[in-house]
Chains A and B, each alone.
Chain A
Amino acid sequence: MMTEADYYALFEAYQHGELAAPARTDLERRLSSDPVLAQRYADFADLTSTLSSYGQRLSTRRKLRAIQADLDAEQAVKLTVDDEVLETGNPQMPQLHISRTEQKLREFWHGHRATMMVAASVAVLAVFTTLLGLEWWKARQQPTQYGYTVLRRDVDRIKRTQRVMNKAINQIGALPAAINPGKFSGTGFALTSDGYIVTSYHVIQGADSLLIEGRDRQRYRAEPVFSDVAHDLAILRIKDRNFSGFGRLPYSFKRGTAELGEKIYTLGYPREDQVYNDGSLSARTGFEGDSAFYQISIPVNPGNSGGPLLDDRGNLIGIISGRQMDVQSAAFATKSSYLMKLVDSLSSMNSVQPYNLPRTNQLAGSSRPQQIRKLQDYVFVVKVYE
């Protein structure tokens, strides 16, 4: 019995032609008749040929490596002869001499070009989306009041003055619109017939001297008697010697709270002339729920501050104080009850010159123009010099 190794010896001898003629014909006959043996031979041939071509492959690879090494060495010593390359008709590739760092950068750029492009476009997209989104969101937040862009210039100006008023409400800001620098004006009205005047605290805030001017251009110098910062109230007294009193005041002061929806009006000096405005009482509390103020729907302007607020029957119910910037026609007025409390406490403290508040109301029952005609002489401009 022959082992497989023995067969291999036989096959090798056969391949190399070392078998004697009879043995060879015998083997060939057996190969053609015995499929198992034929398979064995095929495997053997396959194996040996693979082995030898594998050997060739390895040697070729060594050869190529050697060639490449030669080339590298040549390049290293810069011995490359150019015309040898030219001779074989090879187009010369342009050789760039670049530094090591640049080489690295180039490789990096080559490798990550696509990724970086994508990243950059995502970044750009994100930035613009954010900007546009913010813009859109802001536009949504704008109150409808500013819908017309054509109005914007005006609105901007109004906003500026509104900001001033708003500050005034919080008792930190300066005063309403000034005619010339260093001089402010507001409105005031008579508290008693003997020279007490009421205005808003923020009108006289920081004042050096005060001038009261009536409709008839009559001027009086005045001095502050008392200020109530929290309720934005100030009481002035005329100190001119030739002042002889206002005469009988036509209105009276309401001590209680006025009703919602009451028709109300005011007189003031938002400009050089007296201006009348009316509206109604819209809330019992003022800015941010301050219970010392009313909210009123009278269009007021800088300069109206300190003006009297009267109801239909001629009762004085409040003192104009300011308005809210971002809400449409929301103005605020100090409640007259707070003025009354202030006057009461002042008169109990100080008896030098008593407060003779008017007790009767001459306006009730008369028409609005008649009321105003009676009222107009008791409303003054308060001019402030710093």
Chain B
Amino acid sequence: MAKATASYTDDEFVAAIRRGDDRALAQLYRLHLPMVSHYVLQNSGTEDEAKDVYQEGIMVFYEKVRDGSLELSCQIKTYLYAVCRRLWLKRLTEKTRFGGRLDDHEPYLETGAEADLLEAEERDRRFATMGEALERLGEPCRSLLEGFYLLDKSMQQLTADFGYTNADNAKNQKYKCLVRLKKLFFTHYKEEESF
């Protein structure tokens, strides 16, 4: 209590994270980590697995918040618990043919986390495909697109980095790369969808 760091309420957390306040995110992160890691450790997981699961769970929450599509019907804590619980269950099922039941130390509530998780899974798949498509794109297209879209570099900087004579050349190259990426991405994505 002596600490100067402002303590956030749930609503304040959501608002701050939506604004892009990284300190709020960090605080939220450390606030609920013990709960999830305790839960995972209780259910035959290791410390590292607990961290992985927790990061994934925070990611789901974070993206929903940034999206502005989060509808919290309960505490953030409960939401995170529900999400991480699902994620850990999934992981256990993948790891072994896990047939046992999980030891819950909080009643599992209907938090809407299930639906959010489905959405997140879909997004994960999309991102995975994108990552793969980028891998297959080859240089210099990959670096160019990554520089522009992932690292938020300006066209001028990229022009200098890649040694193009002027920004228009770089832009044209970028568009060509986009076209190739589009082909790779969509053929792949559609293929996977048809499964």
Contact = CB atoms under 8 A, between A and B. Distances in A.
Interface of A: 4-6, 8-9, 12, 43-44, 47-48, 50-61, 63-65, 67-68, 70-71, 81, 83-88, 90-93, 107, 110-111, 113-114
Contact of A64 (B27, B44, B59, B145): B59
Contacts of B62: 60
B79 interface: no
* Chain B contact residues, majority secondary structure: helix
B26 A67 contact: yes
Given A51-B150, A64-B55, A71-B29, 17 more contacts: A5-B179, A9-B171, A47-B186, A50-B130, A54-B127, A54-B130, A57-B59, A60-B62, A61-B59, A67-B29, A68-B29, A84-B3, A88-B7, A88-B8, A90-B34, A90-B35, A93-B35
A8 B178 contact: yes
B175 to A, nearest CB: 4
Contacts of A43: 182, 186
Contacts of B127: 50, 53-54, 57
Contacts of A57: 59, 63, 127
A103 B46 CA distance: 10
Contacts of A50: 126-127, 130, 185
B38 interface: yes
A55 B55 contact: no
Contact of A114 (B46, B100, B186): B100
Contact of A110 (B8, B35, B44): B44
Contacts of A87: 1, 3, 5, 7
B14 to A, nearest CB: 15
Interface string B150-174: 1110000000000000000001100
Given A54-B131, A111-B44, A47 B59 contact: no
Contacts of A88: 7-8, 27, 31
Contacts of A9: 171-172, 175
Interface of B: 1-3, 5, 7-8, 22, 25-27, 29-35, 37-38, 41, 44, 46, 51, 55, 58-59, 62-63, 66, 100, 123, 126-127, 130-131, 145-146, 149-152, 171-172, 175-176, 178-179, 181-182, 185-186
B101 to A, nearest CB: 11
Q: Which 9 A-B pairs have the closest CB atoms?
A: A55-B150, A5-B175, A51-B149, A8-B175, A110-B44, A93-B34, A93-B38, A67-B26, A4-B179
Contact of B181 (A6, A47, A92, A107): A47
A84 B186 CA distance: 48
A83 B186 contact: no
Nearest to B124: A57
Nearest to A89: B7
A5 B35 contact: no
A381 B46 CA distance: 88
A111 B49 CA distance: 13
Contacts of B5: 84, 87
A90 B178 contact: no
Contacts of A52: 149-150
Nearest to A4: B179
Contacts of B44: 110-111, 113
Contacts of B29: 64, 67-68, 71
Nearest to B127: A54
A70 B146 CA distance: 27
14 contacts: A5-B178, A9-B171, A47-B182, A55-B149, A57-B127, A60-B59, A64-B55, A64-B59, A67-B29, A83-B3, A86-B1, A88-B27, A88-B31, A90-B34
Contacts of B55: 61, 64-65, 68
Contacts of A93: 34-35, 37-38
A375 to B, nearest CB: 86
Contacts of B22: 63
B116 to A, nearest CB: 15
